[in-house]
Amino acid sequence: MKVLSKPVADKSKYMDLLRQMMLIRRFEEKASEMYMRGKIGGFLHLYIGEEAIATGVMSVLGPDDYVVSHYREHGHALARGMDPKVIMAELFGKATGSSGGKGGSMHLFDASRNFMGGYAIVGGQLPIAVGLALAAKYRREDRTVLCFFGDGAVNEGEFHESMNLASVWQLPVIFMLENNLYGMGSYVERTHAGGKDIYHVADAYKIPAAQVDGMDVLAVREATEEALKRVRTGSGPVFIEAMTYRFRGHSMADPVAYRESSELDQWRKEDPIEKFKVVALREEFVTDDELQGIEAGVQATVEAAIRFAEESPEPELDTLHDNVYA
Amino acid sequence: MTIASSQKAERGNISFVQSINEALRQEMERDPSVIVMGEDVSGAAGRKDQGFEDAWGGVFRLTKGLGPRFGPERVRDTPISEAGFIGAAVGAAATGLRPVVELMFVGFYGVCADQITNNAAKMHYMFGGKVKLPLTIITNTGIGAGAAAQHSETLYSIFTHFPGLKCVVPSDAYTAKGLMAAAIRDDDPVIIFLHKLLLGRTRAGLRQSEEYVVPEEPYIVPIGKANIAREGSDITLIGIGYTTVLCLQAAQELEKEGIDAEVVDLLSLSPMDEETVLSSVKKTRRVVITDEDYPRCSVASDLSALVAEEAFDYLDAPPKRVTPPHTPIPYSLALERLYPPTKEKILAAVKSVLE
Ligand SMILES: Cc1ncc(C[n+]2csc(CCOP(=O)(O)OP(=O)(O)O)c2C)c(N)n1
Ligand SMILES: [Mg+2]
């Protein structure tokens, strides 16, 4: 196990980070159970193993900053502070869900938190991020846009067009690449000509770039903090590549026949939650009792979300016709 | 053309997916110029050297087993770069290769529309017939799986709109295999649209003959020909892909009430078999058109116009369309259920036409 980067000198911050990662983990474990029981339909893409990235990023992002994401966005939405109940209800397709059941797992949205949506066409969220940044700059607002995307998305034209636009127009975008080494079953080294260290692509667009350990919540936090400082000076976008691994299949339908189980075992040793627990205990920022307290609290939150989703009504049938036009 | 009763049960039923797979394998065996490309069509993006092969076989398993059989040069995993690899398929086709590419879900067409509608559709014409593009695009359509607005669309009308593209929609395992083979052998770009709800099915389920199975030997279902899936005299139901199944179910129900419905399985949207449609409608004098695509500027409205313009004098009632509403596709099962054509909606439409 690699040693985590330097501790944040504030006990409550530690607890928050841990609680957040654990909430995402438990929420998704439960969601996967609900999927198996037919309560959740469509596609379900789990973020398990990658929790440190969303958690680290959101712990320093300002409330006015925008977030855009893809279809693997439960973790991003939770870390951004979206109500777990409302997310779970959306996964259940209920009227009380974030989009009234219209969107489901891949299309979470919360304007009140500037969480500007999950998009399911690979790469489709990148130009949206550029547009949000363009609007912020146009209005002279002090807002940054943080855009999540995967290693597979880098091979879409929209990625390159967005990088170029953001740089040419000096827009406040943080391109947050979650490199989990696979796009569906395709290994990054066989699909990306530049190999698995993707951040080099940013050079071509004169965008400053860094690679961080995406299994280390503090490293992600620190990298995001630095990126924010830089972007807020108005000098244009920043690119961060967080190296990570998804512990589960691409979606619930994935038999995961394209990687060795030993590879997964290796990465499980880097489990961002377990690693962080060790540090937190070692640094005495958290006691065993407190850990148990966090676990119990998180469980209760997830149970409440399930109950809320179960008990919520189905959408009214005529809402089918609502929201087609403004 | 009637294909329903001609086949004998010589082997077990194979599914729609297996039919497509078999057609691909047989065409690849027959013709070395056939290659397959797409995301995880084999799986693991060419890590055969590391022991990973056929890890996926396509998300719908349409290309399962082709990687081990034909090797990574002919069954090529691509990066997520649809504009790139579909455009590359157009280029390769211009030299006489017969690429088959998978566009995983039809809703992804947006990122590669330029290559399909500006290049593939037009090159033969704008280069004065000097180049042929024997290219096949396989794509998945349809709702019924809770896949929400971006993964459930039908959209074949968009491609039908473009002269130069051929569009086919199989309705069962038999037509799937035959149209797949026909598409590969065709010298024009052909898009074959496969509905999610058909993939696991064996026979159409409701073909009249219980002995209806998919022959093992290669055969084609000709592009540009509709099939009379059920003969009848009182009303024509036109189905496209999965809605043909619904039309056949409705026809069974109607039979109990003494209504004898004819079901036309359109199969080919472009070119369209106007003759079969018109002669059926002229015979039954009534028509219900079913289509899961968005209703505006659709194949259904095209058919309705065709019937109105060419068979008006024969009609006892105006043509009636059964389509989804003019809305995107909702996620929630409660709403999704309301969205597409159903047997009940078809029956209601039939009643209103017969009144
Ligand atoms: C344009 C487009 N092509 C293909 C897909 C199917 N698809 C969905 S997710 C995915 C893999 C994306 O991988 P990556 O960007 O690495 O993100 P990850 O899933 O690993 O988080 C693919 C191929 C899609 N949704 N959109
Ligand atoms: Mg990935």
User: What interface predicted TM-score (ipTM) does this complex get?
Assistant: 0.95
Which tens digit of pLDDT belongs to each residue from B91-124? 999 999 999 999 999 999 999 999 999 999 999 9
Helix (H) and strand (E) counts in chain A? 12, 8
Q: Return the number of CB contacts < 8 Å for A and B.
A: 149
Question: What are the sequence ranges of the domains in chain A?
Answer: 11-310
CB distance A182 to ligand 1 below 6 Å: yes
Distance CA A14, CA A312 (A): 34
B16-198 belongs to which CATH class?
alpha beta
Which tens digit of pLDDT belongs to each residue from B228-267? 999 999 999 999 999 999 999 999 999 999 999 999 999 9
Determine contact, residues A68/A116, Cβ cutoff 8 Å.
yes
Q: What are phi and psi of A277, to 5 degrees?
A: -60, -45
Evaluate if residue B4 carries a pLDDT over 70: no
> What's the rounded mean pLDDT across residues B314-334?
98
Atom of ligand 1 nearest to the CA of A180: 20
Question: What are the sequence ranges of the domains in chain B?
Answer: 16-198, 227-354
Which tens digit of pLDDT belongs to each residue from A278-287? 999 998 889 9
Determine contact, residues A214/A242, Cβ cutoff 8 Å.
yes
Residue of A94, A102, A160 to mutate, interface with B, max B Cβ within 10 Å = A102
Out of B40, B107, B333, name the one closest to residue A41 (CB).
B333
Ligand 1: centre distance to CA A184 (Å): 6
The pLDDT of residue A1 = 46
Q: Answer yes or no: do B148 and A158 touch at CB < 8 A.
A: no
Mean of the per-residue pLDDT values for chain A? 96
Tell the CATH topology of A11-310: Rossmann fold (3.40.50)
Q: What is the pTM of this model?
A: 0.96
Q: Answer yes or no: do B327 and A104 touch at CB < 8 A.
A: no
> What's the rounded mean pLDDT across residues A123-136?
98
Looking at residue B174, its amino acid is Y
Q: How confident is the model at residue B5 (pLDDT cuts 50, 70, 90)?
A: very low
Distance CA A72, CA B145 (A): 18
Residues ≥6 apart with Cβ < 8 Å to A33: none
Q: How confident is the model at residue A3 (pLDDT cuts 50, 70, 90)?
A: low
**In this structure, what is the dihedral angle of CA atoms A202, A205, A208, A211, given to the nearest 10 degrees?**
0
Evaluate if residue B208 carries a pLDDT over 70: no
Q: Which residues, in sequence order, are bridge partners of residue B102?
A: B138
Which tens digit of pLDDT belongs to each residue from A59-86? 999 999 999 999 999 999 999 999 999 9
Which residues on B lie below 8 Å from A190 (Cβ)? 44-47, 77
Evaluate if residue A163 carries a pLDDT over 90: yes
Q: How confident is the model at residue B1 (pLDDT cuts 50, 70, 90)?
A: very low
Evaluate if residue B350 carries a pLDDT over 70: yes
How far, in Å, are A20, A76, A162, A199 from residue A124 at the CA level?
27, 17, 10, 19
For B227-354, CATH number?
3.40.50.920
Tokens 């159409």 belong to residue:
B204
Q: Answer yes or no: do B79 and A155 touch at CB < 8 A.
A: yes
Q: How confident is the model at residue B8 (pLDDT cuts 50, 70, 90)?
A: very low
* DSSP secondary structure string for all residues of B136-194: EEEEEE--SS---TTSS---HHHHHTSTT-EEE---SHHHHHHHHHHHHH-SS-EEEEE
CB distance A75 to ligand 1 below 6 Å: no
Q: Which residues of B touch A (CB under 8 A)?
A: 39-40, 43-47, 52, 55-56, 59, 77-84, 107-108, 110-111, 145-151, 325-328, 330-335, 338-339
Asked, colleague to colleague, whether B16-198 and B227-354 share their fold, the answer is yes
Evaluate if residue B7 carries a pLDDT over 90: no
Determine contact, residues A218/A6, Cβ cutoff 8 Å.
yes
CB distance A183 to ligand 1 below 6 Å: yes
Q: How confident is the model at residue B46 (pLDDT cuts 50, 70, 90)?
A: confident
If DSSP codes are grouped into helix, strand and coil, which group holds residue A115? strand
Determine contact, residues A217/A5, Cβ cutoff 8 Å.
no
Of the ranges B54-58, B141-145, B258-262, which is most confident?
B258-262
**Is B124 in the active site?**
no
Out of A104, A152, A257, name the one closest to residue B80 (CB).
A152
Distance CA A136, CA B257 (A): 64
The pLDDT of residue B212 = 64
Q: In what order do the strands lie in the sheet with A115-118?
A: A115-118, A66-69, A145-150, A173-179, A238-243, A209-213
| Atom 25 (ligand 1) nearest CA | A121
Chain A residues 240-279 within an 8 A CB cutoff of chain B: 253, 257-259
Of all residues in chain B, what percent carry a pLDDT higher than 90?
88
**Nearest to A55, CA basis, from A239, A203, A272, A299:** A272
Evaluate if residue B204 carries a pLDDT over 70: no
